[in-house]
Amino acid sequence: MSKIICTAAINGAHAIARRVETTYARVLKNYGPDQEIGFPDTAYFLPIIYAMLGIAVKNLGDCQLVFERARRLLPRPVRDNMPLPYLAPALDAGMATLFYEEIDEAMRYLEKPDFYLRGEDVGDDNIWLGAASDVILRKRGVEFVDGSAPGFAAIVGAAPDSETARKIAEELQTKNLYVFMASQDNGRCFARQLVEAGVQIGWGTRLVPFSPDISGAVFALGFACRAAMAFGGIKPGDFRKNLIYNKDRIFAFVLAMGTVTDEWYANAAGCINFGFPVIADTPIPAVLPTGICTYEHVVPNVPHDQMVARAVEIRGLKVTVTEVPIPVAYGPAFEGERVRGDDIYFECGGGRTQMVEFSVLRQMDEVEDGRIEVVGPDIPDIEPGTKLPLAIYVEIAGRKMQEDFLPILERQIHHLINYAQGIMHIGQRDISWIRLARQAVDKGFTFKDIGRILHAMYHKDFGKILDKVQVTIFTEEERVQKVLKEAREAYSLRDARIANLTDEVEGVYYSCTLCQSFAPSHVCVITPERTGLCGAYNWLDCKAAFEINPTGPNQPIEKGVENDGRTGNWRGVNEFVAQASRGKVQNVNAYSIMQDPMTSCGCFECIAAYLDQFNGVMTVDRDFKGDNTPCGMKFTTLAGSVGGGAVTPGFVGHSKHYICSGKFLKAEGGIARLVWMPSQLKEELRDKINARGEALGVSNLADRIADETVGMSQEEILPFLKEKKHPALEMESMI
Amino acid sequence: MAKKNATDLLTSCEASRQMIEIAAERGIETVFDRAASMRPCPIGAEGICCKNCAMGPCRVVSAKEEGGPAKVGLCGATQETIASRNFARMVAAGAAAHSDHGRGVAEVFLLAARGEIPGYGIKDEQKLLQLGLDFGLDVANLSVQELAVQVGEKCVAMFGQQEGELAFLKRAPLKRQELWRKLRLAPRGIDREVVEVMHRTHTGVDQDYKNITAQAARCALSDGWGGSLIATELQDVMFGTPVPVAGSINLGVLKKDEVNVIVHGHEPLLSEMVVVASQDPELLELAKKQGARGINVAGMCCTANEILMRHGLPIAGNFLQQELAIATGAVDAMVVDVQCIMQAVQKAAENFHTLVITTSPKAMMQGATHIEFDEHDAIATAKKIVRTAVDNFTRRDPSAVNIPDVRTDMVAGFSHETINYLLGGTFRSSYRPLNDNIIGGRIRGIAGVVGCNNARTTDDEPHIILIKELIKNDVIVLTTGCVAMACGKAGLLTPEAAKFCGAGLAEICETVGIPPVLHLGSCVDNSRILMAATAVVKEGGLGDDISELPAAGAAPGWMSEKAVSIGHYFVASGVYTIFGTTFPTLGSSTFTDYLFNGLEETWGGMWDFEPDPLKMAAKMIAHIDKKRAALGIDKARERVLMDMAMRRELEAT
């Protein structure tokens, strides 16, 4: 009965409105209208209000305007007899609720700045993380883009017991979904139940405890609103596009666990505006007709063991989970899980012992598919704390395999192992490092399972190019050393091969339209010397990806006639981009920031911006925490104005790696134009920057580039550049 | 005089039944009595009497024996020529009525926009802006007043427009627009098409029934996509676009202890002002002095729909209740303007103290009091009218008062804009959920059931039987005019009426909180149904033209020429349209067959006739099912589960 739900939602919205307006009156009296408020580290203000109404709430006074709009949305209560239509008013009430709650949470940040933690991790006493910063949004948002996280489950309330909570969370994790938790039921909350059950929570494991109150729902919906603005290029205030974007592209739903109060209903009505349905474990009324959501709107009375499966179906989501025959849960959600302290059962690599991962190409008859062998002691043979060397030796055969694909496959080992619950993996090649948790070992995990993971996942992800996979795990010093020697020889050959790949030599580039699920007009053009701007895809990756999925997002581009080698303009590339962007982009200069630069999606690692006062370019990476950069915008603000598949002359998204490519800013004179970058990024790339500088005839270029320790303003930076004789000052004008 | 035991055959309305008996007791003659004593002319009824020249009238009946030669007129005009000419003239008269209504509204609107008449203003700026865009005006750089003036001028100009096509045609689905242009059905101007029908049906002009049918369509379209649409749109801008509102209906809304003013007719220009005047403190005080507790304004016919939709004011009744309202002895003034006002009301009023007040210079009546509506001082006119009614209250004979205690609550106010809102709220408003549930099958189709009451059938009854059958089969019903009022009286305009629906439609009604029958307004507001149908097409998933929708139209109890114009513009817009009671072309099987079967192939829409409401419902549902099959939505819909690759395939939002 929709009427019961709408009645409750409208009543709940009124109750929330009264409470928040009362709080506001008090807070306003104490702090005054000019008091700044907002969520930490975001360029999106109070994101739902910003996305829906286009109002940037910066201080307490700004809230008045929002209240006016919210009050107009609050409908009259539903009459019992002869009611006027109630669905639309209830949806409006839901939206008003979200506006009120966002202001409420912002006031909480003001009055109790320590109520919520900052960052991705929970503490021992406090588990509540509150609003995600833009850094988290960018980092996690990429997963929504590439499909490693198709959406999120917003869980309100609590399961009947901790074990049920654990099972539901784990099922959601294995389906790659994020879990956003808020509110409580009868004093119990889902997030705490997970802690009780020994589950690691926090952004790293995709189990995110937002708030002990229902108002924490705004952190989930605010994340969704920001994803649409950041990755979909949807403008603040364009509420319709934002909501439809969420309905079509962000696969989220609500799991209501426990007694559904009027205030929960009000929030649920808010969620339905986004096309996020509600699945409840209690016998509340149902709303089954479709329309606002893709399928059903409210589905009650779902048994706990069916909740996740039902929710995914109701939301219209397809999650393909590969069954990996290992005794622990498996999925990307476990990638960020840590193993430390007393939980460590076994550890190797990381400077303690030698570890190495190596893959090698074999003839078809040299490989026995599925053969997994451990040479040396396995887990059941050793005591906890035992130190062993470890080599993961993967032999691959396939009719479509090429030497070039080996490094790609090898690079997967890191996350593929990390996906296993209770296993932590760091690094790659000969600097890898692994930890096995006691809990995983208790469930029966052994080294052999590492082989099982690689065998199953290689077949799943790369089945098109490989036919056979055989894995050997060596734990004897002598054998490990032998593998290490073979591997190091191969590594140097591979590195040399990469270094010799140039844009001039190769006639075929690759597209990446992976991000079109979020930024529909974005087309990355990936050349040997220009990686994807997310940093995740280089030319070889794309080449392999095309082999694996010939109709997928990575397509070969015949570069065709070179129109301009300096700016990186080719006829074939232009034709391809025009078609792939559905006519939105007609001309692309791969090496330019000023003239028809490439489109930027939302998941670029760095963004470069032209600085007219220095005749140069700055770049900033998404990990930079500063509130500003010399162009007047911090990373997220920049990303907000440049992303979404737009072409913005003077700005371009790029990967970290690309900074040290010979093609970086080639049209404008190359890396010698770089006048400012965050110090941490500079240190990370120092040697390569200097090497690239040398090639252009500039010594110690890294030292000539300003960073945040020098300053943000012209007065601070210009004397530094002059003192360091930065080459950009002498170069021809960029315009 | 009507026999007591026969009243059930006359009407299915309880209040009417009671009043017919009371009228009979008092010796007051009503339409029901006259219907019993005079049969319709059988040759005129079938459309084959030609009196377009003085050589006739010619009655071109078919030969008695099967297959014998049909008569022709003295001029040689065939049955099909004569039937089509008569049909076209009905269309022209109906279109003229609607469009002249629209012209009146446009003129007042323009005067109001220029600030020349007090009392009228702009209530819906959003809609004004939309109109500005329709006319290609520079809306960004015009003030509201400037925009209103320009929109008013454009609307007024449409009536005398001679070339090109009406601007509102561009609102229709593209495919339909192209079809109109290709078939030369696109009206060039409103008045011009009426004039041309009259010319072409003059003796010895157009003698090709197909060509006449096409011109009749051009004329009808100048009503539906012209005059009526202007009326609806400008009334909404001036008086507010309707939103859902509760009201009540039937003769029981008249009040024993208040001054009862019935506003009857069609145009809201005056009735809006009467509503304002009825709240005037001075007049209320005067009413009290006369011993009345207040001033009760109730509507009748489409005027009633207009003030219900915008103010929730009560409705006294529909077309066939006008004499019965007077027979209550409680009506102090019946204020009339134009269309559907029976001359008999004056004779009925003479039995009581009731004053019939005519207000339009276009519509006067022997014996009635005439207080002419002066738009330059509308409030003063309205006050004068209300004051006359209040003064008349003291002449009321309480012993002669018989108000039946019958009234029903209802929810009305469903403009096509508000339906858009109701389906998704402020932030997600769209027709998507409607389309989605039509595609999914919860809603089988859409029916527009409109039109009049006709004393040749049991009053209200075919409407209700038809509509109940439709909603039982999950067909959602949009209604206007006197049919809407019949539904109101029968309790179909309440959310509770979901109990009459099939499971799918009931679920939708319950979810949204709407009745299964949506009251869209007066008979000019049939334009709203065109807009709603277009909105459904544009929302997508149900074809590219109105003719592809699983939809049908009906007028089970039609009587006025306006109904024929409405029917014909629906047919020419691609809708299967079925009439009940009688059909004005049956005397020519050739022409009738062309209307019923010949048009579909080119126009997409066609006419049909079926007096039995249950069979009518079956025919409509069969048409809806045919369209569902053509759209491929006659099968259960698959649940599509999306993965990332499919998401990338989505077009930019």
The reply to whether omega before A678 is within 30° of 0 (cis) is no
pLDDT at site A602 = 72
CB pairs under 8 A between A and B: 144
Highest CATH level, class, for B251-400: alpha beta
What's the pLDDT tens digit per position in B514-529?
999 999 999 999 999 9
Predicted confidence band of residue A186 (pLDDT cuts 50, 70, 90): very high
Chain B residues touching residue A290 (CB < 8 angstroms) = 433, 436-437, 440
Q: How far is it, in rounded angstroms, from Cα B11 to Cα B4?
A: 12
> Tokens for B312?
């929730």
A74 CB within 8 Å of a chain B CB: no
Predicted confidence band of residue B1 (pLDDT cuts 50, 70, 90): very low
**Across the interface, which of A73, A85, A319 has its CB nearest the CB of B514?**
A85
* Structural domain includes residue A326: no
The percentage of residues in chain A with a pLDDT greater than 70, rounded to a whole number, is 99
Q: Which amino acid is at B642?
A: M
Q: Provide the domain count of chain A.
A: 3
Same domain, A290 and A359: no
Say whether pLDDT at B445 is over 80.
Answer: yes
pLDDT at site B14 = 96
Burial class (CB in 10 A: 0-12, 13-18, 19+), A534: buried
Q: What are phi and psi of A634, to 5 degrees?
A: -80, 175
Q: How far is it, in rounded angstroms, from Cα A560 to Cα A572?
A: 5
A92 CB within 8 Å of a chain B CB: yes
Helix axes A447-462, A406-418, angle to 10 degrees: 120
Chain A residues touching residue B513 (CB < 8 angstroms) = 2-3, 6, 78, 83-87
Report DSSP state, residue B224.
Answer: I
What's the pLDDT tens digit per position in A209-259?
999 999 999 999 999 999 998 888 899 999 999 999 999 989 999 999 999
Predicted confidence band of residue A494 (pLDDT cuts 50, 70, 90): confident
Reported ipTM: the value is: 0.92
Predicted confidence band of residue A639 (pLDDT cuts 50, 70, 90): confident
Chain A residues touching residue B421 (CB < 8 angstroms) = 88
* Structural domain includes residue A349: yes
* Structural domain includes residue A502: no
Of the candidates A208, A174, A228, the residue with the CA atom closest to the CA atom of residue A51: A228
What's the pLDDT tens digit per position in A564-573?
999 999 999 9
Say whether pLDDT at B389 is over 70.
Answer: yes
Q: Is residue B511 within 8 Å of B436, Cβ to Cβ? A: no
B507 CB within 8 Å of a chain A CB: yes
Q: How many other C-beta atoms can be found within 10 angstroms of the C-beta atom of residue B636?
A: 8
- Tell me the C-alpha to C-alpha distance, in Å, between residue A379 and each of A325, A450, A453, A473: 17, 12, 16, 12
* Structural domain includes residue A503: no
**Average pLDDT for B430-437:** 94
pLDDT at site B294 = 97
Same domain, A306 and A338: no
- Tell me the C-alpha to C-alpha distance, in Å, between residue A79 and each of A82, A86, B419, B500: 7, 9, 20, 21
**Across the interface, which of B411, B425, B641 has its CB nearest the CB of A88?**
B425
* pTM (two decimals): 0.86
Predicted confidence band of residue A583 (pLDDT cuts 50, 70, 90): confident
Chain A residues touching residue B642 (CB < 8 angstroms) = 251, 316-318
Say whether pLDDT at A33 is over 80.
Answer: yes
What's the pLDDT tens digit per position in B295-342?
999 999 999 999 999 999 999 999 999 999 999 999 999 999 999 999
What's the pLDDT tens digit per position in A415-429?
899 999 999 998 888
What's the pLDDT tens digit per position in B223-247?
999 999 999 999 999 999 999 999 9
Same domain, A620 and A725: yes
Place of tokens 């074809």: B543
Say whether pLDDT at B343 is over 90.
Answer: yes
Say whether pLDDT at B3 is over 80.
Answer: no
Residue A516 and residue B651: Cβ atoms within 8 Å?
A: no
Q: Which SS3 state, helix, strand or coil, does residue A652 take?
A: strand
B127 CB within 8 Å of a chain A CB: no
B441 CB within 8 Å of a chain A CB: no
The CATH number for A407's domain is 3.30.1650.10
Same domain, A618 and A486: no
Chain B residues touching residue A86 (CB < 8 angstroms) = 512-513
Same domain, A550 and A463: no
**Average pLDDT for B209-224:** 98
Q: How far is it, in rounded angstroms, from Cα B594 to Cα B395?
A: 57
**Average pLDDT for B109-129:** 94
Same domain, A283 and A356: no
Q: Which SS3 state, helix, strand or coil, does residue A469 take?
A: strand
How far is residue B84 CA from its own chain's centroid? 23
Place of tokens 């969620």: A271
The percentage of residues in chain A with a pLDDT greater than 90, rounded to a whole number, is 72
Length, in residues, of chain B = 653
Same domain, A525 and A596: yes
The CATH number for A31's domain is 3.40.50.2030
Residue A521 and residue B652: Cβ atoms within 8 Å?
A: yes
**Across the interface, which of B425, B442, B648 has its CB nearest the CB of A273?**
B425
Chain A residues touching residue B244 (CB < 8 angstroms) = 84-85
- Alpha helices by DSSP H, A668-713: 679-695, 701-704
Q: How far is it, in rounded angstroms, from Cα A167 to Cα B245?
A: 49
Same domain, A276 and A146: yes
Q: How many other C-beta atoms can be found within 10 angstroms of the C-beta atom of residue A385?
A: 9
Quickly list DSSP for A709-725: TT-SSHHHHHHHHHHTT
Predicted confidence band of residue A516 (pLDDT cuts 50, 70, 90): confident
Same domain, A486 and A514: no
Predicted confidence band of residue A1 (pLDDT cuts 50, 70, 90): low
The domain segmentation of chain B, as residue ranges, is: 79-239, 251-400, 410-631
pLDDT at site B652 = 53
B434 CB within 8 Å of a chain A CB: yes
Least confident of A115-119, A318-322, A382-386: A318-322
pLDDT at site B65 = 67
> Tokens for B588?
């020519």
* Structural domain includes residue A448: yes
**Average pLDDT for B63-75:** 79
Residues contacting A29, CB < 8 A, separation 6+: none
State the residue range of the domain holding A146. 2-315
C-alpha distance across the termini of chain B, in Å: 67
CATH topology of domain B410-631: Rossmann fold (3.40.50)
Same domain, A543 and A651: yes
Residue B433 and residue A318: Cβ atoms within 8 Å?
A: no
Predicted confidence band of residue A601 (pLDDT cuts 50, 70, 90): confident
β-partners of residue A358 are: A393
Say whether pLDDT at A540 is over 90.
Answer: no
Same domain, A627 and A563: yes
Say whether pLDDT at B411 is over 90.
Answer: yes
> Tokens for A728?
């950009």
Q: Which amino acid is at B378?
A: A
Same domain, A468 and A517: no
Sheet holding A355-361, edge to edge: A355-361, A390-397, A468-474, A372-375
Q: Interior CA angle at B273 toward B271 and B274, to 5°?
A: 60
Q: How far is it, in rounded angstroms, from Cα B168 to Cα B234?
A: 13
Q: How far is it, in rounded angstroms, from Cα A639 to Cα A42?
A: 12
Q: Which amino acid is at B248?
A: S
* Structural domain includes residue A323: no
**Average pLDDT for B249-254:** 98
- Tell me the C-alpha to C-alpha distance, in Å, between residue A655 and each of A133, A565, B16: 21, 21, 81
pLDDT at site A517 = 67
The percentage of residues in chain B with a pLDDT greater than 90, rounded to a whole number, is 93
pLDDT at site A575 = 94
Mean of per-residue pLDDT scores for chain B: 95
β-partners of residue A159 are: none
Predicted confidence band of residue A139 (pLDDT cuts 50, 70, 90): confident
Q: Is residue A420 within 8 Å of A326, Cβ to Cβ? A: yes
**Average pLDDT for A70-99:** 96
Predicted confidence band of residue B67 (pLDDT cuts 50, 70, 90): low
Residue B434 and residue A291: Cβ atoms within 8 Å?
A: yes
What's the pLDDT tens digit per position in A690-720?
999 999 999 999 999 999 999 998 889 999 9
Q: What are phi and psi of A600, to 5 degrees?
A: -120, 130
CA quadruple B423, B424, B430, B434: dihedral, nearest 10 = -40
Say whether pLDDT at B650 is over 80.
Answer: no
Quickly list DSSP for B271-286: HHHHHHHHT-HHHHHH
Q: Is residue A475 within 8 Å of A380, Cβ to Cβ? A: no
Say whether pLDDT at B653 is over 70.
Answer: no
* Structural domain includes residue A567: yes
**Average pLDDT for B597-609:** 97
Mean of per-residue pLDDT scores for chain A: 92
Among candidate residues A265, A286, A315, the one where a domain is terminated:
A315
Q: How far is it, in rounded angstroms, from Cα A279 to Cα A307?
A: 7
CATH topology of domain B79-239: Substrate Binding Domain Of Dnak; Chain:A; Domain 2 (1.20.1270)
Q: Is residue A358 within 8 Å of A471, Cβ to Cβ? A: no
The answer to whether the Cα torsion of A169, A172, A178, A184 is positive or negative is negative
